[in-house]
Amino acid sequence: MSLIRRRSANPTEFGQVLADVTRDAPRMPRPDRLRPLAGPTLMDKLFMGALCTASVSFCVFAVVTSVNDPDYFSRKLIASFQRANVDPIVTGTVAAPAADVALPVPAIVRHKEPSPSDYQIVMVYGDEAILATDDELLRAKVGTVLPGLGAITAIVPNATGGTVSAEKAVLTSGTK
């Protein structure tokens, strides 16, 4: 039988044509003769084992680190930010207050410069004092420059009120 066959177009020979096609067609092996599907190879097993080990190790590291030092990851993240010259006005931040800096005193227009005898101690608390003249109240810290007194050199609270030492005078409160 040749590979090229002339087939008859007669429909009565359809059964013969079907038998020829069935006989000459390539055959699939029977399912029971198929080779069983191959399982994962050694490389597949090694890769999956390494992936599982790495995943579990990372999770254990993250949990143990978070338990021992809860701020560890936050510090690392903040430290990784690049510092830039950022305008604090635009970002809404404020500068840290300077330690032990004299309080600013507003410029006030006065008829005459107060003298040390014009000042009275209203209150002393901690390292600050409230002083009064006839026209105004002034809050002072060590280093504050007041008109008529000069720079405040010391503020000492005591049971009767306190003492405020300045360049030009020493004010003491208390009952007489």
Whole-prediction pTM value? 0.40
Map residue 149 onto helix, strand or coil: coil
Query: Is 32 within the bounds of a domain?
Result: no
- Residue 116: other Cβ atoms inside 10 A: 15
Does residue 128 sit within a domain?
yes
Quick check: is 70 in a domain?
Answer: yes
Residue 49, pLDDT score:
95
In a domain, 57, yes or no: yes
CB 100 within 8 A of CB 143: yes
Residue 120 sits in the same domain as residue 74: no
| Residues 120 and 167 both lie in one domain | yes
Count Cβ atoms below 10 Å from residue 163 Cβ, excluding itself: 18
Q: Is residue 4 part of a domain?
A: no
Tens digits of pLDDT across the chain (176 residues) = 455 555 555 555 777 777 777 777 777 766 665 555 667 888 889 999 999 999 999 999 999 998 998 888 888 777 777 666 666 566 666 666 666 666 676 667 777 888 888 899 999 988 899 999 888 888 999 998 988 899 999 999 888 888 999 999 999 887 55
CA angle, residues 156, 162, 165, in degrees to nearest 5 = 55
- Full residue range of the structural domain in which residue 146 is found: 116-172
Residues 167 and 121 occupy one common structural domain: yes
63: in domain? yes
Secondary structure E strands in the chain: 120-125, 128-132, 137-141, 145-146, 150-158, 161-166, 170-172
Burial (Cβ within 10 Å: 0-12, 13-18, ≥19) of residue 52: exposed
DSSP secondary-structure letter at 117? G
Alpha-carbon span 158 to 166, nearest angstrom? 17
Residue 65 lies in a domain: yes
* Number of residues that this document lists for the chain: 176
What is the tally of structural domains in the chain? 2
- Give pLDDT, residue 158: 87
98 inside domain: no
Q: What is the pLDDT of residue 154?
A: 93
